[in-house]
Amino acid sequence: MKKLLAVLLALALMLAGATTALADGDKVVNIGVTSTLTTLNPLATDNTEIVKYAASLVFLPLVELNSDLEFVPQLAERIETDDNIHFTITLQEGAAWSDGTPITAEDVEFTLALSADPACASIALPMYSVEGTDDGGMIETGAEHIDGVQVVDERTLTVTTKWPTALYTFENIFGRYLLTVPKHVLADKDRAGLLTDPWFKAPDVISGPYFISSFDLQHFVHYVANENYFLGAPKIKYLNLNVYEPSQLLAGLQSGEIDLIQQTMGTIPVEDYDAVRVLYGVNAVNGTPVTNESIFINTAKVTDVRIRQALLYGMDRQGMLEALMHGNGEVVDGFLVSASPYYSEELGVTEFDLQKAAELIQEAKADGVNTSYVWYLNSSESTWGQAVEYFAAILEEIGLHIEIRPVNLANLIDIAGSGEHDILSVEYTYAPVDPYTDVAWLLGGEGSWTGYSTEETAQALSQSQQLTDVEAIKEQYLIVDRAMQRDCAMISGWVTATLGAVSTRVTGVTPNVFGTFVDVQNWDKE
């Protein structure tokens, strides 16, 4: 009886505290993520979705994709072009910084100039495509203007590209990844120090719905609402990104410690899917299969195409999808998934053929080709790690030795950029409406994650930017995916239909690969 009374007293105190918090309007939403972050500085963002979304809560992108794969306004009202060369960006009327200063076209111009300045150049934006930059996307250090960027009026500017760029590509790379910063705050700062400037640890002038209140990139980012957000003060006062091991997510949802898991930031282990789906007070949401478990082969180090082909034939991808993912996804060859408007069933899928793989390995070995390689993978992707271990064991039996090295995501990105890998794999979400952005970068030859480029693939990618007919564009991407079947610079392990989850107490949000945070200011919590 004493124990029961103690429990009831503790519960009463908890409820009293919760009621007080709600009465004060201090609502909290805790988001469970499974990858650590590398930065929150909008000028230093990498190509990981967790960093992009974490930084976008503070500094808005121009546009964002919603769950229907449509580009919708954020800082910009619209982006337009008549010729795929000259793009007009019109900012939202009434857009303002948190200190009340209007957000203007000069702020966007200022941010683009910073992104092309050697002192603080962006690694996320392809500035080399903007007229007025050199082949590396640079301008003179300290320059305030780019010839290809012109301010028309307070709300309007134009950007001219060096070559034809499809509107969907421009909206994806510049619209989604350019995070505008305040010129009136940063113009007098030393550009050489902006990437590490302490101001970005707790910026006091922002465009987004949330201020950063505290963070530890390995463990959490805590936000507090921007009451002056020009799209409306958020109903949720405190928003927290908390880093967990994937195995901890189910317990966090059960206890109510976690309110939301978004598919590209938090990976629920597939063995927990059924348990999550039946949790009381939790809505489980199946994501569209767009997250590609991509295997990037460094063709500068794995030079013999027979070894790369042996990897493709020697991995039972469909079998592992069924065994480990319970069929939650699909197997494709190449970059495009079935959700993309440019996906072609004509490509087909390479079937598992262990005998063919063994023959290729033995042929290469007889010619003196190296058959021992290192495979790096993201340590937080436990289910995929099991698949790689299985693949490696089978390949060992037919003469190909694979050393598996799991590392955290930040280290994996560093390794990929340095080119020290033989093979690496990571979950990679290619925007279905714009495969060009990532594919052109990944097949960019020396310095890319694959080290691969051919005249055939480069021409097809270039053509995809000059066409407007969907079927014609599809033909160009088919050329690229056929090259992947043949040369195996990138192999798709599988494409997952990942599971997201949200507490039924949280309203106004449905977790999805795209669009989860578009209207974060409208989220509420009972």
Yes or no: domain 49-190 corresponds to CATH 3.30.930.10: no
Q: Break the chain into its structural domains and give their ranges.
A: 27-33+209-287+499-525, 49-190, 291-496
| pTM confidence score | 0.79
Same fold: 49-190 with 291-496 = no
Kindly report each contact of residues 483-488 with a partner whose C-beta sits within 8 Å and lies 24 or more positions away, as own/partner.
483/454, 483/456, 483/457, 484/333, 484/334, 484/335, 485/312, 485/333, 485/334, 485/347, 485/350, 486/305, 487/299, 487/305, 487/308, 487/452, 487/454, 488/297, 488/305, 488/308, 488/309, 488/311, 488/312
Distance CA 181, CA 122 (A): 13
Distance CA 492, CA 333 (A): 6
Yes or no: domain 291-496 corresponds to CATH 3.10.105.10: yes
Rounded to an integer, what is the distance from CA 118 to the centroid of its chain? 25
Residue 24: predicted pLDDT: 56
What angle separates helix 305-314 from helix 382-397, to the nearest 10 degrees? 110
Residue 69: predicted pLDDT: 86
Specify the DSSP element, H or E, that contains 213.
strand 210-216
* Residue 491 reports pLDDT greater than 70: yes
In this prediction, residue 277 has a pLDDT band, given cuts at 50, 70 and 90, of very high
Q: What is the mean pLDDT of residues 295-304?
A: 98
* Closest to 111 in 3D by CA, of 159, 74, 68: 159
Residues 445-455: tens digit of each pLDDT: 999 999 999 99
What's the Cα-to-Cα distance from 417 to each of 138, 254, 298, 403, 411, rounded to whole Å? 19, 39, 11, 20, 10
Largest CA distance in the chain: 79
Yes or no: domain 27-33+209-287+499-525 corresponds to CATH 3.30.300.90: no
Residues 466-480: tens digit of each pLDDT: 988 889 999 999 999
* Closest to 326 in 3D by CA, of 270, 258, 288, 371: 270
